């Protein structure tokens, strides 16, 4: 394709420099160059997709190159003509490359087939991770708080953890964890991930951000116009690759109507935490969540559901057991309301309550919840007893400090 003013429907394949490739935008531009992490990082977010070969380009376009004795199949009805033209050009290029290698092969023409739903081109990956999705149709029930703190607890106890911010439109976890400057990578970047590097841990981590306690984070898109890039196929590919490198993947889901990407994440999750708070609006949302998400022909099998009542308090309109009964689910866990711990953590440079040295109801609850997921999980010790025993412990420490100060004063005087 000659340089000019290509449109958004055009496809450009070039082996020029990254700067030259950008001149073809807003077309869909593929830069074919030898594999280089530096190049992939430089191209991230530029609109140019880096590919190691024309075969990789074919995979991105949904074009399958094959050898056949028959004529080239016709593209499907929904395939743009530009993609069909690119398919033919790739086939010609592959044929010419084979001829120049000096390899004697039968005289069999090479054709291209357009696949609207191409098969996965991932290498053979062994699933390692437990995928945990945190979801509710109703927003504001504490999905993000639970997701971030659960990921941090799992990481703090020695597990390899990745937090995926799939709240595409609001990106609450991303905004909280990176309040000052957004990471250079996000979910959209995975549209350019080199599939041949799927088994390379360093390559995978280069497409992730570093979060609290050493966990990794896959942030949400930076701009709303990028939302459509995150398809169910992209979501599935990212989770498949991450599953080979981490022990636990915690997915913070968006509230509201289910899109294809959310359905894909829910269907791939090993455990789905459905959240509700003990109020009428949230209970209604929990009922709708169950109707739309759980059951035969729906994304989530009932055996994978764990129903959690969040922000329980003594004067709540409904008791947790009653909330579960109204939602038609078995109660799995209760998390008490602890606004003070959340506020303190947010005030201290946007840290997380479970990472504070100070013990809290929320911290203890999240650690206990992690214990239901991890065999042999040992939570940090907490003070036992009620308010009176805690006060006694406080005054004992105060007296000990006073005694030590007195000893130091006497020693100094002597």
Average confidence score pLDDT of the chain: 79
Q: Which residues on neighbouring strands pair with residue 312, listed in sequence order? A: 336
- pLDDT above 90 as % of the chain: 48
Q: Are 79 and 114 in contact (CB under 8 A)?
A: yes
Q: Which of 73, 82, 78 is nearest to 110 (CA)?
A: 73
Long-range Cβ contacts of 54-60 (<8 Å, 24+ apart): 54/13, 54/90, 54/93, 54/94, 55/94, 56/32, 56/194, 56/195, 56/196, 57/13, 57/30, 57/32, 57/86, 57/90, 58/87, 58/90, 58/112, 59/118, 59/121, 59/195, 60/30
Return the CATH number of the domain spanning residue range 130-373. Answer: 3.40.50.300
pLDDT confidence of residue 107? 41
* Band of residue 39 on the pLDDT scale cut at 50, 70, 90: confident
* Band of residue 379 on the pLDDT scale cut at 50, 70, 90: low
Stretch 40-44: mean pLDDT, rounded? 69
Domain regions of the chain by residue span: 11-114, 130-373, 385-414
pLDDT in tens, 201-249: 999 999 999 999 999 999 999 877 677 888 889 999 999 999 999 999 9
Reply yes or no on whether the pLDDT at 35 is more than 70: no
More confident of the two residues 232 and 405? 232
Q: Are 66 and 97 in contact (CB under 8 A)?
A: no
pLDDT confidence of residue 397? 57
């Amino acid at each position: 394709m000659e340089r000019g003013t290509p449109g958004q429907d055009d496809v450009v394949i070039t082996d020029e420099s990254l700067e030259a490739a950008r001149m073809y935008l807003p077309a869909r531009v593929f830069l074919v160059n030898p594999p280089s992490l530096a190049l992939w990082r430089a191209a991230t977010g530029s609109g140019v997709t880096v590919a190691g070969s024309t075969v990789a380009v074919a995979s991105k376009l949904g074009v399958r190159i094959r050898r056949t004795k028959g004529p080239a199949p016709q593209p499907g009805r929904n395939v743009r003509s530009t993609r069909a033209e690119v398919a033919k050009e790739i086939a010609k290029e592959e044929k010419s490359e084979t001829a120049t290698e000096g390899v004697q092969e039968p005289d069999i023409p090479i054709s291209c087939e357009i696949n609207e739903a191409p098969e996965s081109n991932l290498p053979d990956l062994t699933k390692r991770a437990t995928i945990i999705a945190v979801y509710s149709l109703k927003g504001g029930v504490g999905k993000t708080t639970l997701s971030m703190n659960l990921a941090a607890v799992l990481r703090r106890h020695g597990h390899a953890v990745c937090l995926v911010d799939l709240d595409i439109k609001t990106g609450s976890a991303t905004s909280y964890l990176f309040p000052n400057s957004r990471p250079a990578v996000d979910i959209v970047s995975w549209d350019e991930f080199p599939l041949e590097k799927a088994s390379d841990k360093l390559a995978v981590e280069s497409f992730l951000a570093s979060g609290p306690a050493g966990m990794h984070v896959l942030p949400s898109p930076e701009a709303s116009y990028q939302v459509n890039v995150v398809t169910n196929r992209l979501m599935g590919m990212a989770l498949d690759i991450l599953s080979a490198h981490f022990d636990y993947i915690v997915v913070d889901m968006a509230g509201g109507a289910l899109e294809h990407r959310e359905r894909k994440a829910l269907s791939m999750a090993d455990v789905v935490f459905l959240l509700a708070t003990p109020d009428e609006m949230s209970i209604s949302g929990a009922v709708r969540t169950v109707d739309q998400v759980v059951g035969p022909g729906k994304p989530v099998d009932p055996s994978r559901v764990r129903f959690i009542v969040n922000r329980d308090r003594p004067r709540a309109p409904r008791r947790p057991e009653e909330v579960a009964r109204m939602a038609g689910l078995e109660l799995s866990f209760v998390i008490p309301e602890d606004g003070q711990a959340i506020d303190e953590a947010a005030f201290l440079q946007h840290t997380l309550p479970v990472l504070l040295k100070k013990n809290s109801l929320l911290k203890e609850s999240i650690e206990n919840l992690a214990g239901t997921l991890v065999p042999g999980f040992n939570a940090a010790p907490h003070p036992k007893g009620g308010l009176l025993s805690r006060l006694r412990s406080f005054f004992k420490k105060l007296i000990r400090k006073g005694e030590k100060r007195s000893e130091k004063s006497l020693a100094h005087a002597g």
